[in-house]
Structure 1
């Protein structure tokens, strides 16, 4: 099989064989564990696919971008850093110094999330000039809510949308170190169950506004508080995660989104030129549902969204008229345009 044939009709089962390991579990990794596992796949045509699996215990997407840029620069013979400052030895210690490792985790999260939902709908924030990531996540949230509403015969439940946030630039002062796992979770709530998806009233601006407000709360003051009182990390996570990623309980639908947009993975050059496609993997047998991963398209002005839902719900989502008006569903990586 050539690389072109593989990308023309993408097989997710085969796709996941291109990465060395797939770990979506929460908890400790088996010993010994490498910081990054890399698998080089060579097709009959000579095309190459690099499968990379890293652990969030040590680094996040920003750190992975820096590692790949330095690796590619070394492969081209231009030295580490590719024109940037490179990775200094001290960078490996910054994360541990700011947020020391601890065993804090969730205790009774389902009860806390249910209680943390506003008892009365707050004044809605209407989004103005949303970012492209904000617009896409808001649209996906709205369409996913509509799918669950149709599945439940018109019953709309309260909804929580959790977005992964890179906190480096949000700290005071901003953090310059690229390495580590500097992420937080921002949770947006939507409790108004009276508005239907029948098109009589558009909830999209409200959803985008709620997402923006939730993310804006992850600011320098909040992050300084976490550093000063380490116990706040556990209690804050409990409020954010709430009903849990693995179940839909207590009448609340939960969605989680992680964005790789603006990471500039397509600018990484190992000496062979621009990549044909950059994407996530490990999506065939997920531990959790209602997960969304966002990645830039090759053009740089579009977004590729990987959505993991229950099979029946996914079938409904793929037929949602509003989603189909803005997005191509399951396109070949070779034909992805600037459309969502």
Structure 2
């Protein structure tokens, strides 16, 4: 696939950021976000008009949106703050030889990453003070189809933030008078920042390490998810699990079978990224930017790894998520508990700890498929990211099923695909 850049510029907010808002403070959840860009690609079917002619309109609505999301037009100042200096965000336009169908028919993560405005992975653990925190790329296919990709520095955006930003941009593109509610909140009182000297998560997202990982899409359509919820809920640990817990339990069970077959160290824990916005009292507005999400860990004795059923795994996952209530969250962060947890986990990993993890990040129930710039809702949405031993979930377009992007070594992926449960409930078809 040939992608040719036709324009590249820095766009500033349409209105200057007031002086009293020039410093955006990072919470500990922002500080501990993976040192990478959160990315997403939206694919749109060919329209009756030449969308390339709408370039100025897209740029204008983008600048207006930046006025409300002003930290995205700033630069990382230090470990504790962003300088909201209106230096701007990068806006790139590109032409792609061929039809959009060639991407939709393959669902290849490496191909999708060619449509991103930058690599999601950086060479160091932090951005320099002159690097953009937000970049977008509008890709025009020969057939008239369009793919809009967004990369936001993870310290400023979790998946919820990503959905909020792109939907606000799309809304302003449709209606220049669209009113955006406040999106910038100071969360440092609940999630106080920490001194991270000598601590880094960079080793987990190095591009050279991830280049050896296979990231594949597994489709669980609505009817299969409903059947799986019935099967997983048949037991004493949990009755009628959510879509997320049902599919996660199936994937965990398959991964544990893979490690047993490899005679490798058994998976005895799972981490789940939990959105905390509605779990706090009062709730943090769902459109708030930043990382109002954190990891929770479900674990079990190694002796149980060979006997845990789907229902047993579902119970473990449910309990770890359920404990994330307002009281627990506030007490945990008041004493720097979250940072200490990750620091200990890093130290144990270096010592060869017997805690073997598989991770889940759910982007379900975020309005990605509502993103309409004026030419209709997207055909498909992809995260275009690679992770090792992590599953990223998105809704299917109808909102009933789940698309799971799963990253494994080549050897593990071959065995994972042959698991009876995966063969029963998942479809591997590459075509969208």
| TM-score computed with the length of structure 2 as normaliser | 0.64
**Cα RMSD for the two superposed structures:** 2.7
The residue aligned with 2:290 is 180
CA contact (8 A) 1:162 1:256 kept: yes
Unaligned 5+ segments in structure 2 are 1-97, 202-234
The residue aligned with 1:140 is 251
The residue aligned with 1:160 is 269
Displacement after TM superposition at 1:29 (Å)? 2.0
**Correspondences of 1:30-69 after superposition (within 5 Å):** 30-69=128-167
CA contact (8 A) 2:396 2:402 kept: yes
- 3-state SS of the aligned residue for 2:154? coil
Closer, same or farther: CA 174–12 of 1 in aligned 2, 3 Å: closer
Closer, same or farther: CA 59–156 of 1 in aligned 2, 3 Å: closer
The residue aligned with 1:77 is 175
Closer, same or farther: CA 134–242 of 1 in aligned 2, 3 Å: farther
Please list the CA deviations of residues 186-240 of structure 1 after superposition, one character each: whole Å capped at 9, or x if unmatched: 10002243564xxxx66111111101111112211122114433x2232233466
Closer, same or farther: CA 223–202 of 1 in aligned 2, 3 Å: closer
Residue 94, structure 1, aligned to residue 204, structure 2: no
Closer, same or farther: CA 77–107 of 1 in aligned 2, 3 Å: closer
Deviates most, 92-101 or 291-300: 92-101
The residue aligned with 2:46 is none
CA contact (8 A) 1:125 1:210 kept: no
Residue 14, structure 1, aligned to residue 117, structure 2: no
Runs ≥4 in structure 1, deviation > 6 angstroms?
Answer: 105-109
- 3-state SS of the aligned residue for 1:49? strand
Please list the CA deviations of residues 159-211 of structure 1 after superposition, one character each: whole Å capped at 9, or x if unmatched: 11000011111112221262221111110002243564xxxx66111111101
- 3-state SS of the aligned residue for 2:311? helix
Closer, same or farther: CA 270–173 of 1 in aligned 2, 3 Å: same
- 3-state SS of the aligned residue for 1:146? helix
CA contact (8 A) 1:106 1:234 kept: no
- 3-state SS of the aligned residue for 1:210? helix
Aligned length: 300
Displacement after TM superposition at 1:125 (Å)? 7.2
CA contact (8 A) 1:259 1:293 kept: yes
The residue aligned with 2:260 is 149
Residue 129, structure 1, aligned to residue 240, structure 2: yes
CA contact (8 A) 2:185 2:288 kept: no
Whole-Å separation in 2 of the counterparts to 1:61 and 1:136: 19
The residue aligned with 2:60 is none
- Of 375, 399, 410, 1:272 maps to 375
- 3-state SS of the aligned residue for 2:376? coil
Residue 225, structure 1, aligned to residue 331, structure 2: yes
| TM-score computed with the length of structure 1 as normaliser | 0.80
Whole-Å separation in 1 of the counterparts to 2:141 and 2:310: 44
Please list the CA deviations of residues 78-127 of structure 1 after superposition, one character each: whole Å capped at 9, or x if unmatched: 5334xxxx232xx4242245434333379799xxxxxxxxxxxxxx9711
Whole-Å separation in 2 of the counterparts to 1:46 and 1:264: 24
Unaligned 5+ segments in structure 1 are 110-123, 334-340
- Of 176, 180, 189, 2:299 maps to 189
CA contact (8 A) 1:20 1:52 kept: yes
Whole-Å separation in 2 of the counterparts to 1:101 and 1:270: 36
Please list the CA deviations of residues 12-36 of structure 1 after superposition, one character each: whole Å capped at 9, or x if unmatched: 3222110112334683123323332
Displacement after TM superposition at 1:302 (Å)? 0.6
Deviates most, 307-316 or 155-164: 155-164
